[in-house]
Each structure stands twice: as structure tokens, then as C-alpha cells.
Structure 1
């Protein structure tokens, strides 16, 4: 990862793969110049951490997100009273997602970014890990990249016993701002690759999940109360480490994006021969969220 200096903020990279702590940011009074610099740093580092933002008002939290794009109203998760744009993630109310995922890929238009502030954290544990999906794609072999560039994947979510949302996206998406390609599948929501048989799809997805979760693609962040993380949801996965038994509470605003794009599929959806049953959906990849 090439690191360029910032003329406005103190930038400290977290790992060689992705992530940077940004010091000197005042989100309550962020200028247009300051926002433009944070946007540049987000595209460069994929996830940026803004320590010490204790006391940030809901209006400033929402306002910063709105500068990135349209703010989403999450259809399933609890929201902060009086501020429906802010989702409350509470470990005491089921807010532990210790499965690798990219947010809401089951939508036709998954989020561009998330802005999460931890307002209560345990004295130890409760870190979050992110992966760089550019690197995961770029370090695959040329034949594997060529295969994946011609495939799509179906993403789903199940609420209770019903499949409530479903979308099909390229397995490799092209970032709309940088033009780089990245791997775009995840354990929580990716169900199957429709161009392949069930067994082929399961085997390929299992390989891609495991490959993308290697340590060289990761950064891990230990939270302090008030810290904010902003991540590019188009090119990262994340995992909330469940190694604590004290309350952990966060407030998150999500920014909407456009439809993921990549190469068109090179093959049609697989059709089972007459008399052969075909069950494409990976049940264990579609969990309550």
C-alpha cells in the first residue's frame, strides 16, 4: 500500500494491507477541505479510524455521512430514538456479528460506506477486523481471476424462516471511484454462484472465503470509547471479534451506493438435467442478521 502524506491531518497506517488512524479531525466543525481530505484517505486506506470523537452529536454523525451520499434507513436493526438514520448495535441485544461479511450485499444497491462510533466498550476485547478485497483478488492466479471475472453470485438474507431479500452481483466488482477490481463474496450473505452446480459453487466459495480471510489482507482495531471507524463497504469485509462479556454498544450510519458493476457473466445460469434435483442455496450462509 502506497502511503501519501496529508497536509491537514496526522495519518498513521495500521497495517501494510489497509487501515489508518487519522488524528486532528473535528467532525463537529469539518470544513469542505477537511472532508475532501478524509474522502481521499478513505479511498487510499479503505478503513480510517478517528480516535477521540467523544461527544459527537447525532447531527454531526449524520451530516458527515450525508456528505458521502444518501443516508440509509436500515429495515431491520434498532435505531437511535429521534434519529432514525443511526442504527444502534448493542451486544446485550444480539448485536454481535462474528462472521465475515460485507454489509447488506443482499440488496441491489449495497452500502457505499459505514460510519460506526463505539460509545460503550468492554475494558478488553471486542476488536473489529477488516480485510482488503483488492488484495484478495489481485493475489489470486491469473486463470482464477479470469474465471471469477465471468461469474456472478447470489446474496440473500433470511429473517426468521423467510428469505426476505435477494440480489445477484458480480463475483469481482469494479470500484466506481478507483477503477480497481476486488473480490465481492462473503460468508454471511453469499448463497451460491448460479452459473455452477451446487457442489462446484460450494467448493469455489469455500476456497474464496478462506483465501480472503488470510492475515496478510487484514487490519485489527482495538476500540476506545468515542472512536469512529469509516470503511469503504465496496472493497472490504469485516468481523466483530466476540471475546468479551461486558457491554459493547455502537452507533452506525450507513451510506447508500449504486449497483455493483463488473464484467458481464460469460455463462448462463446452470440448469439441472431433467429428473435431477438442484438445491443452489447455502443454508449456512444465510443467517438471521
Structure 2
């Protein structure tokens, strides 16, 4: 195994222009990396002003898209945030799950700098990246054969619900996704609140699930890469995480499970595990009261917290047009469950009763 030297390019590539070419610009170098080293994560949300005044007092407009998840902010450029605004954004995203910024001028080099503020940048195990920029993960689908494979794999859109690379020992906290090229119609994305997904379960089921652990695996992703002749950048990754997870900043409980990377529940028979997991997946799929469906406009950036959300891209445009953008993902703490943590609904009721 060899270590790769991550290179910084001096010129900023015009990814939007490259995406319009017939040949894909994505790079798949035969590079193998060492395993990721554990690190102590200090979440910037701990430094935030609870009122998030640096954001609310400087934005032109802020509004929630649904009661449980999703907030949109107008009049702020992510490329120009102060450190206080970055800290306050961390708290806002932790509370609301996903926050959207339209008409953003942030380029991918600035995106890397912003992402690093929230944690070490993740390099994907298998997927293509911007040339010499392994931390920059393009989102690029069109009418190609590869896109058609995606379409046939996700026969049902709900099969695509996931939290980014949850199989890592320290999976991502924040993801920054900018889309700069959109189909004429379609290409929306759904996000689901893991806080509210937990809250909607009965107290008896909540009690049963708390303390259970789940194996998250990259095995299928690795096999898919091998079948395509793509280098696996690290060994197949597999780790065990709590099924109910506590967010380190909000202290709220969330359901940490999804169909793409979860393999089984530890300590249960296959039938028991499959039955419970399938119930939880259907619970997420059908949780329309704790989902937000976002219709993109060009140069919009979504910032979401993978620790307390799942998301699902809608591949309804593959036979129509292309969709392109880039993603930066920052790692966070190793998932944990704190028995003393509260649910989001408990905290909101407490605040309402105290008049906050």
C-alpha cells in the first residue's frame, strides 16, 4: 500500500464548462491510501451563539421550509463568512438538518477551505474526483451508460436514501453540495430528519432500539468498483455504530440507519434484523411530515448534517438532460449514544413551556 500525495492545483478549473463536454472530466487514478487515522473532533457548533445573531442579523431573508427540517437563507455568501458565522452556521445546520443558500459564488477551492473548518475532508473510497483534487467529489449524471446503470440500480427512488459514507469509523458531519448545471425539469433532492424519525416512533420501540448497534459496510460499493475496473482507494471499510445516535452539539437523539450502507443489527438473527431494518426504512420512506423536497436553482449550495439526516437524489431526469455539481464532505466524531440525551421534541416542548 502506498500513500498518495494530495496535490493542490494553482488554476481553478471551470467544472461547469467541463461538464458540458462529451467526455467526462472525472479522474480515477490508481492511487491507494493508508487507512484513516482516528482524530478528536471539536465541533464548531459548540462555539456558536445560541441566537445565531451573526447570521440572522446579516441575512436578507431566512425562512424554514418545513416544521421539522430545512431552512433557506438569502443574502449571505458562503465564500465570505466570518468565523463567528461559520460557528453559528454549524449550530443552525445541526438543529435544522439542512440549510440552503442560492446564488453562491463559492468555487471548489474555497469550498475545500470552508469544509476544513468543520473537520478533515473525506476522500471517497471509489468514486471519480476533480483532477488532482481527490477531496472534490463531482455530482455528474447525464444520458450516459453509467447514468443508465444508476437508473436501473435504483428501480425505486426510495432505494437511494442514505447518509454519506456512514461505513467510516468517523463518518461525515457536514456535506457542502453546489449544483451549477441542472436539467430542464426534475433532479430534486429529498432530506429526512433523523431527529423527527426517532420522535415518531412509539416510546416502547424507542426504548428497544436504544443501545442497539448496526454494522455499516462499504463491501457492496467496493465490489461495484471492482466490477467497473476502478481502484479501491482503501480496504473495504466496515464499522459498527449505534442505531440511535446522539448529536454532540444539540444533544438530541436521532435514528442513524439507512438502506445503502447498513448491513445488519448486531446480536439479532438475520430474520429479526431484516424485519426491524425494513420497518425502519419504510418509516423513513413514508415520513413525509419530516422530509423536505428541494427544487434546485443553478449555483445553489446545500449544507447538511449527515449525523442527523438521510437524503435521496431523485433520478427522474436521466433520459432528459444532465445535472452537475461538486461536493465537499467533512468528517466528524465517531457516532455514540448517550443514555442521558433528549429527543428534539422534548427540548422544543421544554422551550415552549418556558416561553423561550
Same fold (TM over 0.5): yes
Structure 1 residue 84: deviation in Å?
2.4
Instruction: Report Cα offsets for 1:216-252 as digits up to 9, x if no partner.
Output: 1100101111000000000000000111121011200
Instruction: Report Cα offsets for 1:3-36 as digits up to 9, x if no partner.
Output: 9882222211111120011111122222223223
Structure 1 residue 66: deviation in Å?
1.3
Q: Does 1:74 align with 2:147?
A: no
The correspondence for 1:230, drawn from 303, 306, 330, is: 303
CA contact (8 A) 1:127 1:241 kept: yes
C-alpha separation between the residues in 2 aligned to 1:30 and 1:4? Answer: 13
2:256 maps to which residue? 184
Structure 1 residue 52: deviation in Å?
0.6
Query: Counterpart of 2:236 in 1: which secondary structure?
Result: strand
Q: How does 1:210-289 map to 2 (within 5 A)?
A: 210-213=282-285, 214-244=287-317, 245-262=320-337
1:280 maps to which residue? none
CA contact (8 A) 1:173 1:260 kept: yes
C-alpha separation between the residues in 2 aligned to 1:187 and 1:35? Answer: 32
1:276 maps to which residue? none
1:59 maps to which residue? 109
Instruction: Report Cα offsets for 1:49-100 as digits up to 9, x if no partner.
Output: 01011x4222211111111121112221111124322101211364657511
Q: How does 1:1-289 map to 2 (within 5 A)?
A: 6-9=56-59, 10-53=61-104, 55-92=105-142, 94=146, 98=157, 99-157=160-218, 158=220, 159-160=222-223, 164-213=236-285, 214-244=287-317, 245-262=320-337
C-alpha separation between the residues in 2 aligned to 1:75 and 1:204? Answer: 29
C-alpha separation between the residues in 1 aligned to 2:237 and 2:88? Answer: 35
CA contact (8 A) 2:94 2:308 kept: no
C-alpha separation between the residues in 2 aligned to 1:218 and 1:177? Answer: 22
1:281 maps to which residue? none
* Greater strand share, structure number: 1
Return closer, same or farther for 1:150/1:37 CA change in 2, 3 Å cut-off: closer
- Structure 1, unaligned stretches of length 5 or more? 265-289
- Structure 2, unaligned stretches of length 5 or more? 1-50, 227-234, 340-356
C-alpha separation between the residues in 1 aligned to 2:107 and 2:321? Answer: 25
RMSD of aligned alpha carbons: 2.0
CA contact (8 A) 2:62 2:72 kept: yes
CA contact (8 A) 1:170 1:261 kept: yes
Structure 1 residue 154: deviation in Å?
0.8
